[in-house]
Amino acid sequence: MTPEEFKEALAQKGIELSPKQLEQFEMYYEFLVATNEHVNLTAITAKDEVYLKHFYDSLLPALEIPDLSQNAWTLCDVGAGAGFPSLPLKIVFPQLKVTIVDSLNKRIKFLHELAAKLELDEVSFYHARAEEFASKKSPFRESFDIVTARAVARLSVLSEFCLPLTKVGGRFIALKAQKAGEELAEGRYAIKTLGGKLQADIETTLPKSDEKRHLLVIDKVKETPKKYPRKPGTPAKQPLEAPQGRK
């Protein structure tokens, strides 16, 4: 997907990118590839692939969930890595108030520099483990309208990272690929335990490649019990699973 095809694909969805926004994506690409030479940010560096599998892919939540693009939501991106999906969303929908959490300081440094280059405001960066950032003593706990995560962990683990950060009445959106159904089946207990309820499993495809993508939209319907998230490392080692005989 060339930058021109990227622009055209979004135009077909009713999103007209300004010259400044197109320039921001170009700067994003150039800085990503340059930094990736000495900091491991992405295995995808070919320009057509970055525009399709990183930039366009990151915008899928707003393309498939209309109200996401229409309000000044507070959005927390957990394990953002090279800034996906939150920074492409912020470029296209500048009213979003974005908070990025990542456990690797080198990535946070890259994102901080990137946001400055792109002249993005109302973007905050935190070097932290998700379990600490969402702990019962954290001022960020249950404070975000939208929490996103892409390519971070399986849903049973991811829910323990993200739902404690989602305010009651807010949404946790997990960006997944082909194995979403399998992850959803094993993650239902965790979602319920942590105060969530599946609203939708939206299946879509990337243009040109027809690769399948799933957006798992989980409503936060009640407060997360204070004992979650557990201490750093525990969710990944011992994912929340239903006791035998229960679902």
Binding residues for S-adenosyl-L-methionine: 79, 84, 130-131, 150
Q: How far is CA 7 from CA 2, 15, 56, 170, in A?
A: 9, 8, 10, 30
What residue numbers does the annotated binding site cover? 79, 84, 130-131, 150
Task: Determine the residue type at 106.
Answer: K
What is the spatial distance between Cα 87 and Cα 54, in angstroms, rounded to a whole number?
A: 10
CB-side neighbour CA atoms (13 Å) of 122: 14
Task: Name the pairing type of β-strands 166-176 and 212-220.
Answer: antiparallel
Order across the sheet with 166-176: list the strands: 123-127, 97-102, 74-78, 144-150, 166-176, 212-220, 196-205
Task: Name the pairing type of β-strands 144-150 and 166-176.
Answer: parallel
Run of H or E residues at 33: helix 19-36
235: exposed, middle or buried (C-beta count within 10 Å: 0-12, 13-18, 19+)? buried
Residue 47: partners with Cβ closer than 8 Å, 6 or more residues away: 2, 3, 29
SS3 call for 110: helix
Residue 62: partners with Cβ closer than 8 Å, 6 or more residues away: 68, 69, 89, 92, 93
